[in-house]
Amino acid sequence: MKNSDSKYLNRELSWLEFNQRVLDEARNPTVPLLERLKFLAITASNLDEFFMVRVGSLQRLVEQGRKSKDPAGMTPRQQLVAIGERARQMIQEQYACLTDDLEPELTQAGMQRLTRAELNPKQTQSLEHLFDTEISTILSPQAVSSAKDFPLLKTRQLNMCVRLTPNEEDEPRFAVIPFTGPVRRFLTVASEGAYTYTLLEEIVELFIDRFFPGDEVVEAVPFRLARDADMSVREDAALDLLHGMEEVLDARKISACVRLEIAERASTPMVNFLQSALAISNKETYKSPGPLDLSAFMQLSDISGFDELLYEAWPSQASPQVDLTASIFDTLSQHDVVLYHPYDSFYPVIRLLEEAADDPEVLAIKQTLYRTSRNSPIVTSLKRAAANGKNVTVIVELKARFDEAQNIEWAKNLEQSGVQVIYGVKGLKTHAKVCIVVRREPYGIQRYVHFSTGNYNEITAKFYGDISYLTADNDLGADATVFFNSITGYSQPQQYRKLDAAPLGMRETIIEMIETETRRKEQGQKASITAKLNSLVDPEIIDALYAASQAGVKIKLNVRGICCLRPGIEGLSENIQVISIVDRYLEHARIFHFRHGGDERVFISSADWMQRNLDRRVELLIPIDNPSCRKQLIAYLDAHFRDNVKARILTADGTYLAMKRKERSKPFRSQLALFEQAKQAVKDAKNSRLAVFEPHRASSGR
């Protein structure tokens, strides 16, 4: 990333540097081979979404003639130019990683990709049979005489463009073969002693003439496109939000093309034809020196027989904080619980909903759902609770990008089961993660609450690092109820006892906490700020951090992805350190720690420090007042800042450097340390129970 006179880094270029850190893991020889392939696939998937959302938005700004600059001083057009340069460099590195690093090693390990030129006669004959009996019966070529009759192609779908000999008028002729339906991308090839495969496009091209009997095929080239996905429903004009979101999904199918990927061997006539048909230029065209859609290579990690090429299993641990032999309500009545997934099992969260669904004393369940799994046990519990006569209200966020279709399905399904479904707040996304269980107990009504930094998704909880906080705290229970009812009842937001929420109040609270540290330092007191989050973009918060740094406050930031703050600039940010950790688990937790004169303040949150979270989403900032839970969270933060294996340090110019290990210091990988810590906690709890002797008592009848 280039230097700039601005005190902020550009958001889009910062994101590309995050994707580079993921790519660095794909090229890291200490990472297991198939895990490296997975990291490579993730970078390709990430880049797809980046173009569909961020680049699509910038292109529309340019089309509208917008010239306003971002905080880093760049116009939309300048950003697009910089993105294009950086993305092309990254794509070249992706293919170098695949062809120079990974595939030679995979071949040695017994997993080999063959091109059509490398197939022997026996393999070719077998694949010819597959083509005749399966592939050619599923795929259908579509003749294209002009851009007007170009077929509607799905975003991110692989296709083949075919150039035929010109007609009698010497006009070029083209056809497109969309790779739709149940066709396999990776085709097994018979071989001895290895898993050998070839790609669908290789076989289609090998036998392409059979699609066009009597015609001569000049060339056949794979391509794919990405469409603009940064569009939203006009909520002020939508009488039915669910129907409006369905219209948005339909609109994405025909939205403008923001990127064309095509094999670099494509001829100029082929490229010109596709550019004309898709209404794009060379700036949106990316030529690939290898197989298109590298994200699909994630499938190879599921091939059996190659476990030694994957990470060793790190099974989630059953946290000793939760006694699985007792009621979850009894546990939470005695103490609060903090879980760090995936080191700690997500099951206690599922258990809370499962037990609540069947407990006759539970009266109501209130829950937000932003993203969840396809076969969610939590949704099953909510439906069962409604069937059991409990009052169940769920806020399903229909506007969760790329999960809209699944959330629409869940919303309809829940409504049919008797659940009251709310589609969030008009003009905002409901991104807060909270579940409230209302239970009748001998002394009155008790609320049990779960707050989280991540989604209610038991699948992603196995590889996303997130915090769960379960509590029966009366103030937090009251706040959570007020928060929920203000959304479902269209009422004005009320004053909270402990919580803070976006878009009203959260930014102010965060800045106030930063400024409090600044004032304490100016008064000669000790002051520090430690924070872990996914993105730091908001200029107001960055400015507050700069002011704190100038006052001498020591600030440590663990920012996984985008960071627009420039650390280490003398007179501005020399007291700020920013690290980023990319490892086997996706760092997703948001934890904030302010020294506050020794009266430490710790928070977890669903929100990153970005304008979209603080201004355009419904979010929660949750204070952790329980001393034991607060101590746990500070220890998690400290562990990540001790990382000298996977941590990278952000420099003032926006680049990241590997952490330099101090002389004679031992390697410390925070994710491994946290997994070992979770295992040790289970072992210690087991030993503690064994150390207690419980006598058999005589029955009272003797």
- Alpha-carbon gap, residue 135 to 179, rounded angstroms: 10
Would you state the structure tokens that stand for residue 187, as one six-digit string?
């085709």
Q: What is the pLDDT of residue 238?
A: 38
Q: What is the pLDDT of residue 661?
A: 84
pLDDT at 700 over 70: no
- DSSP states of 305-372 as a string? T-GGGSPPP-PPB--TTS-TTS-HHHHHHH--EEEEETTB-SHHHHHHHHHHHH-TTEEEEEEEESS-
Asked if 432 and 368 touch (Cβ cutoff 8 Å), the reply is yes
Mean pLDDT over 606-632 rounds to 95
Q: What does the angle CA 576 – CA 577 – CA 583 come to, to the nearest 5 degrees? A: 150
Q: pLDDT exceeding 90 applies to what percent of the chain?
A: 75
- Residue 545's nearest CA partner among 527, 523, 525 is 527
Tell me which of 660 and 621 has the higher pLDDT: 621
pLDDT at 168 over 80: no
Mean pLDDT over 608-636 rounds to 95
CB atoms within 10 A of CB 159: 24
pLDDT at 1 over 60: no
Rg (CA), the chain: 28
Asked if 562 and 498 touch (Cβ cutoff 8 Å), the reply is no
Element (DSSP H or E) covering residue 251? helix 241-252
Sequence-separated (6 or more) residues with CB below 8 Å from residue 673: 639, 642
Tell me which of 417 and 320 has the higher pLDDT: 320
- Residue from 341, 431, 593, 640 carrying the catalytic annotation: 431
Q: What is the pLDDT of residue 148?
A: 77
- Alpha-carbon gap, residue 486 to 496, rounded angstroms: 11
Query: Tokens 């903090």 identify what position?
Result: 338
* 431 is a catalytic site residue: yes
pLDDT at 389 over 80: yes
**Residue 371, φ and ψ in degrees, nearest 5:** -140, 145
Q: What is the pLDDT of residue 53?
A: 86
User: Over 115-139, what HEC string results?
Assistant: CHHHCCHHHHHHHHHHHHHHHHHHC
pLDDT (tens digit, 9 = 90+) per residue, 520-578? 999 999 999 999 999 999 999 999 999 999 999 999 999 999 999 999 999 999 999 99
- Alpha-carbon gap, residue 200 to 183, rounded angstroms: 8
Element (DSSP H or E) covering residue 498? none
Q: What is the pLDDT of residue 162?
A: 96
pLDDT (tens digit, 9 = 90+) per residue, 416-449? 888 888 887 777 888 899 999 999 999 999 999 9
Asked if 295 and 41 touch (Cβ cutoff 8 Å), the reply is yes
Q: At what angle do helices 377-387 and 347-358 cross, to 10 degrees?
A: 10
> Which pairs count as long-range contacts for 602-608, CB under 8 Å and 24+ apart, including other chains?
602/630, 602/633, 602/634, 604/451, 604/453, 604/467, 604/469, 604/633, 605/453, 605/506, 605/533, 606/431, 606/432, 606/433, 606/452, 606/453, 607/431, 607/502, 607/506, 608/533, 608/534, 608/535, 608/536, 608/537
Q: Integer distance in angstroms from the first to the last C-alpha of the chain? A: 83
Mean pLDDT over 664-686 rounds to 94
- Alpha-carbon gap, residue 530 to 162, rounded angstroms: 57
Q: How far is CA 426 from each of CA 233, 238, 397, 423, 490, rounded to the nearest angstrom?
A: 10, 10, 11, 8, 10
pLDDT (tens digit, 9 = 90+) per residue, 543-553? 999 999 999 99
Q: What does the angle CA 16 – CA 90 – CA 176 come to, to the nearest 5 degrees? A: 110
pLDDT at 611 over 80: yes
- Alpha-carbon gap, residue 91 to 85, rounded angstroms: 10
Which residues pair with residue 618 across a beta bridge? 430
pLDDT (tens digit, 9 = 90+) per residue, 209-267? 999 998 999 999 999 999 887 644 343 433 344 444 444 445 445 568 899 999 999 99
pLDDT at 472 over 80: yes
**What mean pLDDT is reported for the chain?**
90
- Alpha-carbon gap, residue 503 to 431, rounded angstroms: 11
Is the CA virtual torsion 68, 13, 619, 573 positive or negative? negative
- Sort 123 into a burial class: Cβ within 10 Å, 0-12 / 13-18 / 19+: middle
**Residue 316, φ and ψ in degrees, nearest 5:** -60, 145
pLDDT (tens digit, 9 = 90+) per residue, 576-600? 999 999 999 999 999 999 999 999 9
- Alpha-carbon gap, residue 696 to 699, rounded angstroms: 9
pTM here is: 0.92
DSSP for residue 289: S
| Lowest model confidence (mean pLDDT) among 180-194, 467-481, 633-647 | 180-194
Query: What SS3 state is found at 694?
Result: coil
Banded model confidence at residue 697, pLDDT cuts 50, 70, 90: low
Which residues pair with residue 438 across a beta bridge? 364, 447
Mean pLDDT over 145-161 rounds to 87
pLDDT (tens digit, 9 = 90+) per residue, 331-388? 999 999 999 999 999 999 999 999 999 999 999 999 998 878 888 999 999 999 999 9
Longest CA–CA separation in the chain, Å: 110
pLDDT at 55 over 60: yes
- Residue 577's nearest CA partner among 616, 625, 531 is 531
- Alpha-carbon gap, residue 344 to 633, rounded angstroms: 13
pLDDT at 402 over 60: no
Ordered domains of the chain (ranges, CATH): 1-109 (1.20.58.310), 113-280 (3.30.1840.10), 328-496 (3.30.870.10), 502-687 (3.30.870.10)
